[in-house]
Amino acid sequence: MNHRLAGTGRKRCAAARDWCARVALAALLAIAGAAPALAAALDDKARESGCIGKPEVSNGMYRCQTKSGTAFFNVPGTVPVAPSTRSNGKAAASTPTPAGFPRVDTATQKGRDDVRRKVLGDELASEEKLLVEARAAYADGAPSPLPEERADAEKYRQRIARLRQAVGLHEKNVEALKKEIASIR
């Protein structure tokens, strides 16, 4: 799958949602007048969790980087503010777009979507062809043994396992490509 095309817009949307969540949280803390106390509680909890940087809101929890990876936590008495969502799960458009956020006109985006759809369609056709070939080689788990495998049953079992793994990989790729194509506007 062409990873340069897949999910690029989602990364920008996620960044915009995170930015909106941080702004909304700051606004709520300022309005409530509890900014110093809640900020101190958040800082304490972040230190307890081993955070290296500032915590951010992610999926209704605070998230931060630690030496050993990513930590998620909540602060008692606070509710991390996430962007509002509609009933269909998509982010509501009530929040203004940040200044400097890249904008693309409709015709350009349609052209990009068409190119992406074509590239993904080509990848899907290629992956389906590879799946057919992998299934044929796998032969329902009973391919005929190669000459060097007749004397060594373990080599034969290893080849069957590799063929089964290849079939599974191609099936997952086909499924992911179909899902990606369906998500294009």
Distance (Å, whole) CA 83 – CA 126: 39
Residue 34 pLDDT > 90, yes or no? Answer: no
Are 91 and 146 contained in the same domain?
Answer: no
**Where is mean pLDDT largest: 62-71, 94-103, 127-136, 138-147?**
127-136
Query: How far apart (Å, rounded) are the C-alpha atoms in residues 61 and 74?
Result: 6
Q: Is residue 16 part of a domain?
A: yes
- What pLDDT does residue 3 have? 45
Give the domain extent around 153: 106-183
Local structure of 90: helix, strand or coil: coil
4 and 72 fall within a common domain? yes
Lowest-pLDDT range of 19-33, 38-52, 90-104: 19-33
Lookup result for tokens 């999910």: 7
Phi, psi for 66 (deg, rounded to 5): -125, 175
Look at residues 64, 96, 128 and tell me which one is the last residue of a structural domain: 96
Q: Is the pLDDT of residue 156 over 70?
A: yes
Same domain for 155 and 116: yes
The residue that leads in pLDDT, 63 or 12, is 63
Residue 29 has pLDDT above 70, yes or no: no
Q: Each residue of 44-81: b (16+ CB within 10 Å) or e?
A: ebbeeeebeeebbbbeeebbbeeeeeebebebeebebb
CA distance 77 to 94: 27
